[in-house]
Every structure is written in C-alpha cells, then in structure tokens.
Amino acid sequence: MNIETLRTYCLAKKEVTESFPFDNDTLVFKVAGKMFALTSLTQKPFSMNLKMNEEIVPEWRERYEDVQPGYHMNKKMWNTVVAGNNAIPEKELKWMIDHSYEEVVNKMPKKKREELLK
C-alpha cells in the first residue's frame, strides 16, 4: 500500500475529510471531525497510525512486526502500521483502516453512528 491508495480508500468513506492540522507533513483523515488515520508524506517506509480496539491490539502486534505502538499516540489503542514494506497483505491493511474508522464512529452519538454505518 502507498499513500495514494490510503488517501483514495479513506476519502471514499462517509464524511471523511483530510487536513494538515499539525504541520505540512502529517496528513490526517477525520470522520465527522474525529481523527481515525494519519500518515507522514515523507517518512520512509510508508506507515500510518490507526486506532484499534484495545482488546485486539496485542494480537495484531504479535502477528506482525510492522504493527507497533502508535508513534506520538495513546499506545493502548493506536498502532503505527508500516505498510511500505509489503509485509502485511493489503486486505488486512484495509481491514485495519475500516476498523479504525468504525472505532471512531462507534464512540459517536447513536443517530450519527447509525447514519455513518449504513
């Protein structure tokens, strides 16, 4: 996976926006104003930070060396996922992106949650 694939995949989801709230290098994807993914435009290999349910974080970190505690994030629920090494199948990377989006949406009020997950 590369940054353009990530960008296209994220922006296809309901109410997703992209911005640079921290600096000119960190691209952030938000759903209804809440962050669910971020990446550096310049860091090599390509990686992204994704939110994950705390209960399954250890399983994913054990499964893949390229899933590490989230850089500059709450390490209980954020992972830095190195996608540029091609060690993690794209299908699983997309699952992690979907999961991150859903984790954020599931914390929203019921009406908004139902609207986004239709």
Question: How deeply is 49 buried, as exposed, middle or buried, from its count of CB atoms within 10 A (0-12, 13-18, 19+)?
Answer: buried
Residue 33: which region, alpha, beta or left (left: phi > 0; alpha: psi -120 to 50)?
left
Peptide bond into 45 cis (omega under 30): yes
Tens digits of residue pLDDT in 7-54: 999 999 999 999 999 999 999 999 999 999 999 999 999 999 999 999
Alpha carbon 15 to chain centroid distance?
15
Q: In terms of C-beta distances under 8 Å and separation of at least 24 residues, what long-range contacts does 14-21 make, across chains too?
A: 14/115, 14/116, 14/118, 15/116, 16/101
Domains of the chain in start order, with CATH, are 3-116 (3.90.1150.30)
Give tens-digit pLDDT for 71-99. 899 999 999 999 988 899 999 999 999 99
For residues 99 and 80, the answer to whether their CB atoms sit within 8 Å is no
Predicted confidence at residue 117, as pLDDT, reads: 85
Spatial separation of the C-alpha atoms in residues 6 and 94, rounded to whole Å: 9
Tokens at residue 92, please?
A: 């699983």
